[in-house]
Structure formats: C-alpha cells, structure tokens
C-alpha cells in the first residue's frame, strides 16, 4: 500500500480509526480488525485516551503484541476522561502520556496529538511539555486536532523550530469540506504539516450502505445514534448530496466508498484516511477503496458537493 509522510513517519494512505475498540468491539473483535489491517498492508492506527472509556489503547496494544514495531501508533490527549484528567497543562501532558504508554504496553507513541485546543493554557507551555516527551524518547512526532488555521499559525510561532506540530486532524469529507474554505488546508501547505481527516465517511453516509429515504441499516453507527445526533447526519441537505453521489458512482462503475477515500487522497495535504471498522470485511473494503481520480471526476465531485 502507498505511504505518505507525517514528519519522519511513513503511514499507509488507509489507516484504522480505533474509536470502536473497547466500545462497539471487545478484545476479540479488536484482534480481528487489527489482524485484517496488517494483512491488508495498513500500518497506521489512530486511537485516543478517551476512546472506549480508555479501553481502546489497551485493546490495541494487546492486539498488536509482538508486531508493535511494524506499525505507526497515534494517540491523543486533552479531552476529558474525568474531572481531573483533562486539558493541556504541562504536568498533565506528561502524566497523560505515561498513562497512554502503560495502556498501550509500549515505550513510545509515534504520533501524539493534542485532541483539542485548551484556551486556559498557553500553547507554548503545552509544546514545551511535548518536547520533553520527544527528548525522552516517549514520543516521535506531535500533532493536534480541531485547530483553526490561526491556531496552527500561533502554535508554529510558539514552537521556535524545535517542537512543531507535524499534523492536524479535523473533520473533512465529501459532505464536510470546511478545511478547504477555512484556511486549514492552506495552512498545512504553508507550514508543511500533514492533514488527517476525521469522519471521512461522514459517520457511514459515504459507505454506500445508507440509502436516501431508507432508515440506516441495523447495527450501524447511524442506527445507534440518539435521534438528536442522527438528525444532523440524516438532514435533507446531506441526504440529497448522498443521492447525487450514489448516482455518480453508479454511472462511473465505482463504489461510493472508493469515491470518498479517493477524493480525500486527491488532496496532497492528506496523509492517511483513517476510518473506523468493526469487521475484517470492512477493513478489506477500506484498504481496497482508493483509486486514481482523473481531473474530470474530481471536478465533478467538487461540483456535486459544493456548499
């Protein structure tokens, strides 16, 4: 599988989002997904301390076992685990990393990401703590998530050349194209950062399994959402776009899944499309999804999903 760079790291263009581990998947289910990923040439696993109520890191570490050094493990900190384990204060950054290392059963995290900005802590202080972790060999590269272009510029100015974020992870998909207009992709080019899209399949709307006018298939993430949350994803606006995309996919003899992955990867800033999976079959489908889009197909997709 093709690989792209996040700083010094080489990651597969298809990755595994690990938010199902410890939540929708138990240890055996996690083992199956990880094994299928490795068989498919996927080497990038993205988790977080809050996923699965801290179980995701544990399950991932056990599933990787002796193959840990064959892969790139990314994790995140900063979202609230509880009232005390939250934020980006330097002391907590160091503690949070040690806790994640213990859960993962490893001595280093390849990409350690601040899960969200913390307005109560100067970014320079957080970056200083992350640099300590890099110097100690506990972290190889650092990244961030849910940052605006202005916050990325602020972080780069504070880094002073030694503790720079190498990636940013924000929402991006055919149904959510905000990074193209809010300056984040442009900032990635300017700052030589990689972009990692979350919700690349729009919570399942872009898998091809959800048909406009029909309820989400039983067992899917959309089917299990609260009505308040699913109403956002099943809005008339998104449903109409999905209908157009399905028609386009049928006309061109490709799957909507392939279009979703390939359109994202057509953006040079995108290092890897990290999608969740709950079965070996989903992993295999995701791994096989990327195709080369010609200019005409990309332009057509841009027009179909323009806001």
In the chain, DSSP finds a helix count (H) and a strand count (E) of 13, 10
Residue 118's SS3 state is coil
Q: Which two tokens stand for residue 24?
A: 């929708």
Residue 54, classified by CB atoms within 10 Å of its CB into exposed (0-12), middle (13-18) or buried (19+), is middle
In order of 32, 43, 283, 306, the CA distances from 14 in angstroms are 17, 8, 9, 25
Active-site pick, 51, 92, 112, 199: 51
How is 148-206 classified by DSSP, letter by letter?
Answer: -HHHHHHHHHHHTTTS-EEEEEEE-BTTB-HHHHSSHHHHHHHHT-EEEEESTTGGGTT
Q: Which two tokens stand for residue 266?
A: 């057509």
59 is catalytic: no
Per the CB < 8 A criterion, the answer to whether 70 and 37 are in contact is no
**Mind telling me the catalytic residues?**
51
């Amino acid at each position: 599988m093709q690989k792209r760079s996040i700083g010094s790291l080489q990651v597969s263009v298809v990755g595994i989002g690990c938010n199902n581990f410890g939540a929708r998947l138990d240890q055996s289910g996690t083992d199956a997904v990880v094994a299928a990923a490795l068989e498919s040439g996927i080497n990038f696993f993205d988790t977080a301390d809050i996923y699965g109520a801290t179980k995701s890191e544990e399950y991932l570490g056990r599933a990787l076992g002796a193959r840990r050094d064959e892969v790139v493990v990314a994790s995140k900190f900063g979202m609230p685990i509880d009232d005390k384990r939250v934020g980006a204060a330097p002391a907590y950054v160091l503690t949070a990393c040690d806790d994640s290392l213990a859960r993962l059963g490893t001595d280093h995290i390849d990409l350690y990401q601040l899960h969200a900005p913390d307005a109560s802590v100067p970014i320079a202080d957080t970056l200083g703590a992350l640099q300590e972790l890099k110097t100690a060999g506990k972290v190889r590269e650092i990244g961030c998530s849910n940052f605006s272009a202005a916050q990325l510029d602020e972080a780069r100015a504070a880094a002073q050349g030694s503790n720079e974020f190498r990636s940013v992870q924000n929402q991006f998909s055919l149904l959510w194209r905000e990074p193209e207009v809010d300056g984040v992709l442009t900032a990635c080019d300017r700052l030589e950062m990689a972009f990692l899209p979350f919700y690349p399949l729009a919570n399942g709307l872009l898998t091809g399994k959800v048909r406009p006018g029909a309820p989400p298939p039983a067992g899917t993430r959309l089917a299990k959402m609260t009505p308040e949350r699913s109403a956002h994803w099943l809005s008339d606006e998104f449903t109409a776009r999905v209908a157009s995309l399905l028609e386009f996919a049928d006309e061109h003899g490709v799957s909507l899944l392939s279009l979703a992955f390939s359109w994202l990867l057509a953006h040079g800033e995108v290092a890897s499309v990290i999608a969740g999976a709950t079965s070996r079959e989903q992993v295999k489908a995701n791994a096989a999804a990327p195709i080369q889009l010609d200019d005409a197909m990309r332009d057509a997709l841009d027009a179909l999903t323009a806001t």
